[in-house]
Chain A
Amino acid sequence: QKEVEQDPGPLSVPEGAIVSLNCTYSNSAFQYFMWYRQYSRKGPELLMYTYSSGNKEDGRFTAQVDKSSKYISLFIRDSQPSDSATYLCATGPYSGGGADGLTFGKGTHLIIQP
């Protein structure tokens, strides 16, 4: 079993729709959770991060974590064609010095149709 599972898609939705992206993880030691957006042939761009269960909102984006079920989600409201990209969930443990290297999901390719 992979440590982070994510449906690679593609996920195609019409402009303006609410998008739900999801990941599951298996390692209970994972303590922080991040969502990245990656455009083709570019490095990942941090969208949101959270350390606790519950919701965290930033503009049109909401990150949701349920540690009891090891389930993380990213919701995008009022989706735009410019949101079309690959979305990667990532998680990892803490060490004494801080957040450690991340374990990434495979990424979900999102297409927002105009």
Chain B
Amino acid sequence: GAVVSQHPSWVICKSGTSVKIECRSLDFQATTMFWYRQFPKQSLMLMATSNEGSKATYEQGVEKDKFLINHASLTLSTLTVTSAHPEDSSFYICSARGTSGSNYNEQFFGPGTRLTVL
């Protein structure tokens, strides 16, 4: 089956520092990846849509200068939280959309990255 990995699985950082999270599709190509955020006891909220080779599309209310997204290849998208603050502490989850065959149009989620900003 389609597998999506995320790295790191958890990270603790000091306020003001930047954190990069990687999302990889391991056994399929994904021209489109999505980044979601989940606060405790809340649902997943779409932050942005990442398209390979082009700029990401951000949802309303998500600061594009704070959450930098790079989708440099068909298997890798990165989310960088710049100048992180405690309110950015959350569970960040990516998904990759299959482009062909039985994976077409399905979204496969990574295991998530728990970010804690002190």
Contacts and interface: CB of A to CB of B under 8 A. Distances in A.
Please say whether chains A and B are actual partners in one complex. yes
A32 B41 CA distance: 25
Contacts of A45: 109
Contact of A104 (B44, B99, B105, B110): B44
A105 B99 CA distance: 25
B34 interface: yes
A44 B109 contact: yes
Contacts of A18: none
Contacts of B49: 100-101
A102 interface: yes
Interface residues of A, number: 26
Chain B interface, DSSP helix/strand/loop, else mixed: strand
Interface residues of B, number: 28
Contact of A98 (B91, B93, B97, B110): B97
A59 interface: no
Contacts of B95: 102
Interface of B: 6, 31-32, 34, 36, 41-46, 49, 59, 91, 93, 95, 97, 99, 104-112, 114
Given A44-B44, A46-B107, 6 more contacts: A43-B6, A43-B111, A102-B36, A102-B95, A105-B43, A107-B43
